Amino acid sequence: MAVPMLKMGLVLSTMAMVTNWMSQTLPKLVGLDQTGARPGTSEKFISVVYPGQDEGWQVFGSVSDVGGKCVCRLLAPLPNLCQREPRHTRLRQIAQHMQNVSQYLEMLDWRTSRDLQHIRDTEQKIISVEMRVKTALSNPRTVTAEVLQDLEQSVLECIPLRAVLARFKSEVLKVEVLKREMDSVSTSLTQEQRHAYSSVQQLEQREILLQSRLHACASSIGCGKLLGISSPVTIRSLGSRFGSWMMDAMISSSDERVWSMDGYFKGKRVFEYRSLRDFAIGRNFEVHQLPHPWSGTGHVVYNGSLYYNKHQTNVIVRYHLLSHSVLTQRPLSHAAYNNTFPYSWGGSSDIDLMADESGLWAVYTTLMHGGNMVLGRLDPVTLELVQSWDTGFPKRSAGEAFIVCGSLYVTDSHLNGAKIHYVYHTDTHMYEYTHIPFHNQYSHISMMDYNPREKALYAWNNGHQVIYNITLLQEVKIFTEV
Ligand SMILES: *[C@@H]1O[C@H](CO)[C@@H](O)[C@H](O)[C@H]1NC(C)=O
Ligand SMILES: *[C@@H]1O[C@H](CO)[C@@H](O)[C@H](O)[C@H]1NC(C)=O
Ligand SMILES: *[C@@H]1O[C@H](CO)[C@@H](O)[C@H](O)[C@H]1NC(C)=O
Ligand SMILES: *[C@@H]1O[C@H](CO)[C@@H](O)[C@H](O)[C@H]1NC(C)=O
């Protein structure tokens, strides 16, 4: 029996640049099948082989360091493979047969209408012969040799009718045969249709399977360990020293809108822009007026809802942006609030909401945890705490925190010289100290969140809205049949 074997490999993908050495040597080192690169690009393909690779379907994860994109590629079987299908051959025969039959029918039709004209003409002649015969019979004395000769001539002219009639008879037989053939064609067609229908169903099921494989591929290729942060790009300079801005963080979302929430204290106004470009130049926006004011800057938009901390409470509010209504609100049990355990910059940043590839999270602390940052996984619908982890890092000493692929990255400060200093991994319950520097251009970061869909960090830096690209070290799981 085939036993699936799990091979683990490391592949370096970077949102900014992968060095040639890395992209060419690393996969070989770890035994990854590198199936080729388009000339002129440094795009590389990592063959991710899934179990049940049937009929030539293959799924490839491709990481391109040019666009910084992770792409899943699908290799479908060659189209002419279908032509070898027995059903395809049978259908083609039926189609040819139908063509033959209809050509023949056309010919019959043309011949019949020509013959019909001949019969009509002949009919006139027969009627006139009949009249003349009748006259001759009732008055035999008028019948001269000349009249007889004329009659005979007319009768001779009617003789081809016999051939026409004979053809008619045989044609009636042919029509019978054709009718039977049509019947049989239509019977086999319904059979083929039934087959075709079940093939369509099979194809649909296969498509669903492939979709899920693609999804698995996309998420395996999009996840990894943070290695580096690019230089920041300033998108806009808007609002006060403290604030928050974001795009929808759900991976499968195609929402292009941008939200901006200025200030950390009692704010209620959420600016919504149609796109990043609109945000950058401050056009095409509308304003949402929240029913309850917010605290801090730890808001997140996930799957069309804005999640925020209600002012001077530990209640989390889920506000649905499309219907402008609050769908759920629930206290985050025991979570400290009201500037008790904020990040180092203060600002009532006790509760920081965020999302990664796998869903919605909250960073907070409680008295029981002695002010250590707690990472909690939230149910996005009920807002219930599903599971929590004590990260061991004092919340008041942290500048900001964001989550990538289930690991929490904590900065040591919000001021100049800030770097990623501490990482907590939820899968292993382990922490480690790191040194991942980044450029803190405007010297005061009051919000920093990872957007897994954009694969970028969004930060509010002293009234400037900036984006950083990130470099991830990826683990690719490869299944092979032994
Ligand atoms: C159609 O007609 C062609 C030529 O008359 C013949 O060779 C062929 O076998 C026919 N095909 C079918 C399916 O009847
Ligand atoms: C996103 O929201 C839609 C309804 O708006 C819901 O059907 C879907 O399950 C949600 N997805 C996630 C991952 O929460
Ligand atoms: C929150 O803090 C403010 C200022 O320190 C204080 O006036 C207020 O009573 C506190 N509210 C709660 C609910 O603790
Ligand atoms: C991130 O990378 C993409 C693709 O290379 C580039 O278009 C974008 O400007 C970069 N953004 C930042 C903030 O560096």
Assess whether 61 and 90 both reside in one domain.
Answer: no
Assess whether 331 and 388 both reside in one domain.
Answer: yes
Closest CA to 365 of 334, 338, 406: 334
* Spacing, Cα 160 to ligand 2 middle (Å): 82
Model confidence over 335-357: pLDDT tens digits? 999 999 999 999 999 999 999 98
**H helices present in 261-391, as ranges:** 276-281
Model confidence over 149-197: pLDDT tens digits? 888 888 888 888 888 888 878 877 887 888 888 788 777 777 777 777 6
Assess whether 357 and 404 both reside in one domain.
Answer: yes
The residue nearest atom 1 of ligand 3, judged by CA position, is 338
Assess whether 284 and 152 both reside in one domain.
Answer: no
- pLDDT for 474: 64
- pLDDT for 164: 81
Average pLDDT, the chain: 80
Tokens of 359: 């869903």
CB 461, CB 442: distance < 8 Å: yes
The residue nearest atom 1 of ligand 1, judged by CA position, is 100
Assess whether 90 and 75 both reside in one domain.
Answer: no
List residues bridging with 389 in a β-sheet: 375
Max CA-CA distance within the chain?
143
Whether ligand 1 lies within 6 angstroms of the CB of 103 is answered as no
> In Å, how far are 61, 62, 213, 340, 475 from 221, measured between CA atoms?
7, 8, 12, 39, 8
- pLDDT for 92: 74
In-domain check, residue 467: no
In-domain check, residue 12: yes
In-domain check, residue 95: yes
- pLDDT for 143: 81
- Asked which of 172-181, 319-328, 382-391 is least confident by mean pLDDT, the reply is 172-181
* Spacing, Cα 300 to ligand 3 middle (Å): 24
Assess whether 313 and 403 both reside in one domain.
Answer: yes
CB 301, CB 249: distance < 8 Å: yes
pLDDT band for position 30 (cuts 50, 70, 90) = very low
Tokens of 123: 């009919």
- pLDDT for 135: 86
CATH of the domain at 369: 2.120.10.80
- pLDDT for 125: 84
Strand 258-262, strand 243-247: pairing? antiparallel
In-domain check, residue 143: yes
CB 70, CB 168: distance < 8 Å: no
SS3 284: coil
Which range, 36-45, 208-217, 356-365, is most confident?
356-365
- pLDDT for 32: 40
Ligand of minimum distance to the alpha carbon of 97: 1
Whether ligand 4 lies within 6 angstroms of the CB of 67 is answered as yes
Mutate to test the pocket of ligand 3, among 265, 309, 312 (most ligand atoms within 8 A of CB): 312
Q: How many domains does the chain have?
A: 3
Assess whether 269 and 167 both reside in one domain.
Answer: no
CB 11, CB 25: distance < 8 Å: no
- Kindly report whether the global pTM for this prediction surpasses the value 0.85: no
* Spacing, Cα 380 to ligand 2 middle (Å): 9
Rounded to an integer, the average pLDDT of 9-23 is 33
Assess whether 42 and 111 both reside in one domain.
Answer: no
In-domain check, residue 468: no
Ligand of minimum distance to the alpha carbon of 90: 1
Rounded to an integer, the average pLDDT of 319-348 is 97
Assess whether 254 and 300 both reside in one domain.
Answer: yes
* Spacing, Cα 346 to ligand 3 middle (Å): 14
In-domain check, residue 54: yes
In-domain check, residue 59: yes
Given the CA of residue 101, which atom of ligand 1 is nearest to it?
14
Is the pLDDT confidence value at 482 over 50?
no
Whether ligand 4 lies within 6 angstroms of the CB of 68 is answered as yes
Assess whether 181 and 203 both reside in one domain.
Answer: no
- Asked which of 30-44, 304-318, 367-381 is least confident by mean pLDDT, the reply is 30-44
CA 46, 49, 50: angle at the middle one, nearest 5? Answer: 140
Rounded to an integer, the average pLDDT of 307-332 is 97
DSSP secondary structure, 386-433, as one string: EEEEEEEEEGGG-S-EEEETTEEEEES-SSTT-EEEEEEETTTTEEEE
Tokens of 108: 């019959």
> In Å, how far are 26, 213, 232, 362 from 225, measured between CA atoms?
16, 22, 20, 20
Residue-range definition of the domain harbouring residue 47: 4-81+199-222
Rounded to an integer, the average pLDDT of 351-369 is 96
Model confidence over 400-446: pLDDT tens digits? 999 999 999 999 999 999 999 999 999 999 999 999 999 999 999 99
- pLDDT for 206: 76
Considering the chain, what percentage of its residues have pLDDT values greater than 70? 77
* Spacing, Cα 93 to ligand 1 middle (Å): 9
Assess whether 181 and 208 both reside in one domain.
Answer: no
Assess whether 77 and 105 both reside in one domain.
Answer: no
In-domain check, residue 131: yes
* Spacing, Cα 332 to ligand 4 middle (Å): 36
